[in-house]
Amino acid sequence: MAPSTSSHATNIGNGLSRFPYGQIWCCDFEFHHADGDLPVPVCMVAKELRSGQVIRLWQDELRQSGCPPFDTGPDALFVAYYASAEIGCFLALGWRTPERVLDLFTEFRAETNGLWVQHGNGLLGALSYFGLPAMGTEEKTEMCDLVLSGGPWDAHDRESILDYCQSDVEALQRLIPAIACRILPEDDHGLLRLGQALLRGRYMVAVAHMEHCGVPIDLTLLDRLRESWGHIKDELIMAVDADYGVYESGTFKMARFEAWLIDKGFPWPRLPSGTLATDEDTFRQMARAYPAVAPLHELRHSLGKLKLNNLQVGADSRNRCLLSPFRSKTGRNQPSNAKFIFGPSRWLRGLIKPASGYGIAYLDFGSQEIAIAAALSGDEAMIDAYTSGDPYMTFAKQAGLAPPEATKESHKGVRNRCKAIVLGVGYGMGAESMAYRAGLQVAEARELLRRHRETYRVFWQWAENNVNVALAGGVLRTVYGWPIHTGSRSKLNDRSLLNFPMQANGAEMLRMAACMGTEAGLRICAPIHDALLLEAPLERLDEDVFHLRSLMVKASEMVMGTLACRVDADLVRYPDRYRDEGGGEMWDRVMKILPARAAGVVE
């Protein structure tokens, strides 16, 4: 349960004294920005907690200042709520970023991850959680609207906005002791928890850099798509449905779809009522198991969920949106599907195009979950499977499902089945989900899963012990301390706990790589699950890819200890554009329709 105010009153007095820093600066900016554009700082208030010094700067004063008006070196702690926003303003102003960042948002998320939080994860929600006084929601909304209006503001507005900004700084001042007693427990003499909190703060700086950079978009083409989208959708239905026959007057017909499934002999999950499940998750999983379903899935998503106008692209042709770090339970980023170019409509990624003279590279950790499972569990058989370069084929051989001389080509079917099981375990799936995903009989999936358990017995003991650790100890942590809590306010099941170490340590790995990459001056456009998108001038692209790859390998070793993760890289050089493997067919269809529309041929 949320701690009481009185219990915190005792800690508040002690909280700040244990921070080993000469200065503690609580800082907040007010800013506005159009969708996809960089933030425009309106004002900043900072308060040093030991001396009580307050700095209030309006936008003209901010622009004139070439550097932060306070110490941002290693002896000064920079405190903010959702620090990537404040650091984003630093970057917009051309200021150097703070070296020691304590983000009370990430620490509140850490405090409550896995638990139900009544008033959300915002600053007001955190204050409420700890029983601390907060500004009323209506008043806050009113002031936000005034700031987001973009001005002009008169003298009265200016003072009101500065006062409002300062009230958020004072809220930080109230909140910090409550957080301090979590990250500075009396028995943590090595200040491990504080160090891990600062590591998360370091990532928020990297997030600000990535949000500042953004993803290069072919804005001209996007505008054409937006203009013609209504007609394109009608023609897409005609084009895609020619292979299915499941639409009637532009409407998806369940009976026709069922008939198509029967004709193809595809099993399909049903709802308890007996009707076919046609939700997004089911379609996505079935499209993976049965590639013939993929175009229909892309079409349905494009017709239903895709709102091209929600994709946030700035005037400088960059896709920028909140990357929403630490939003998922595993600590991974969770940007808006609609606003982020790497949302579920994979074909749309064809809009990603490097600017003239530039190239981009998509670098991802190869089989990251398997590597983490193998390394952290110490299962030698699984380590052998990962280091073999083909963990799926090696599993087939280790489990006696394929002979030692088997290859990817000679035993494709067995390998695919084993791949579904190995990946399914990494995602914490049960036999039924694996069966649907891979197009297997449930009994066969169960048998393969049993073989996995026998082949990787050390891994399974470790994984099941993690569940026991979480259930018995109330919390499970990654190697760098990102926690998940269990208890009466938690809705976690065994499977998500089983899966947590692989996913959450994978998130740590990517965060570490993003930190090192941005600090090395590399232009990282975005994090995408277990990948980073890099941009560089063409003459430096290969060199920067090599550099980032080496940093990603180093990050993997920092998380996994002795084992290193493979890093794969796909390069795209101007004038080429990014092409997603799963969305290429749909992209080609849309592009076939688009020129005709633009030329006015189709009406």
Partner 1 sequence: MSDDVKDKKTPAPNPFNPDSLRITGDVNTVGAEKLLVRLPVRKPTKQEFFRVHVDTEYRLPCAILEIKEEREFYLVTPGALWALAEDVRHVELRLCQNRQGASFMWPVPMPGPDGRTNSWHESAREAANLAENSWIRMIAVMAEGGYSIYRATGAIPDPQWPEKTFQELLQLAFKDGKLIDSEGHPIVQQLNGA
Return residues touching partner 1 (CB under 8 A). 17-18, 20-22, 50, 74-75, 99-100, 189-192, 194-196, 198-199, 201-202, 400, 450, 454, 457, 465-466, 468-469, 471-473, 476-481, 512, 558
Rounded Cα gap, residues 127 and 136, in angstroms? 11
Q: Is there a contact between 527 and 518 (Cβ–Cβ < 8 Å)?
A: no
Where does residue 511 rank: exposed (0-12), middle (13-18), buried (19+ CB within 10 A)? buried
Strands (E) in 138-295, as ranges, are 215-216, 247-248, 251-252
Q: How far is the CB of 190 from partner 1 (least distance, A)?
A: 7
Q: Is there a contact between 426 and 502 (Cβ–Cβ < 8 Å)?
A: yes
Going from the C-alpha of 92 to that of each of 101, 103, 205, the distances in angstroms are: 18, 19, 13
CB of 84 or CB of 466, closer to partner 1:
466
| DSSP secondary structure string for all residues of 230-253 | HHHHHHHHHHHHTTT--EETTEE-
Q: How far is the CB of 494 from partner 1 (least distance, A)?
A: 13
CB of 198 or CB of 246, closer to partner 1:
198
Q: How far is the CB of 472 from partner 1 (least distance, A)?
A: 5
CB of 176 or CB of 479, closer to partner 1:
479
Region for residue 453 given its phi and psi (left: phi exceeds 0; alpha: psi -120 to 50; beta: otherwise) = alpha
CB of 21 or CB of 395, closer to partner 1:
21
CB of 133 or CB of 473, closer to partner 1:
473
Q: How far is the CB of 81 from partner 1 (least distance, A)?
A: 18
CB of 99 or CB of 157, closer to partner 1:
99
**Token pair recorded at residue 284:** 């996505």
Rounded Cα gap, residues 549 and 120, in angstroms? 37
Q: How far is the CB of 281 from partner 1 (least distance, A)?
A: 30
CB of 20 or CB of 150, closer to partner 1:
20
CB of 441 or CB of 468, closer to partner 1:
468
* Cis amide prior to 152 (ω within 30 degrees): yes
- One-letter amino acid at 62 equals L
Q: How far is the CB of 519 from partner 1 (least distance, A)?
A: 8
Residue 30: strand pairing partners: 43
Of 51, 121, 50, 46, nearest to 86 by C-alpha is 46
How many CA within 13 A on the CB side of residue 193? 19
CB of 165 or CB of 183, closer to partner 1:
183
SS3 readout for 520-583: CCCEEEEEECCEEEEEEEHHHHHHHHHHHHHHHHHHHHHHHCCCCCCEEEEEEECCCCCCCCCC
CB of 164 or CB of 456, closer to partner 1:
456
Q: How far is the CB of 469 from partner 1 (least distance, A)?
A: 5
Tell me phi and psi for residue 68, to 5 degrees.
-60, 145
**Token pair recorded at residue 23:** 């200065």
Rounded Cα gap, residues 449 and 455, in angstroms? 10
CB of 102 or CB of 541, closer to partner 1:
102
- Cβ of 509: how many Cβ atoms within 10 Å? 26
- One-letter amino acid at 162 equals L
Q: How far is the CB of 342 from partner 1 (least distance, A)?
A: 27
Please tell me what DSSP assigns to residue 88. H
Q: How far is the CB of 49 from partner 1 (least distance, A)?
A: 11
Q: How far is the CB of 212 from partner 1 (least distance, A)?
A: 20
Q: How far is the CB of 97 from partner 1 (least distance, A)?
A: 12
Q: How far is the CB of 509 from partner 1 (least distance, A)?
A: 11
CB of 48 or CB of 218, closer to partner 1:
48
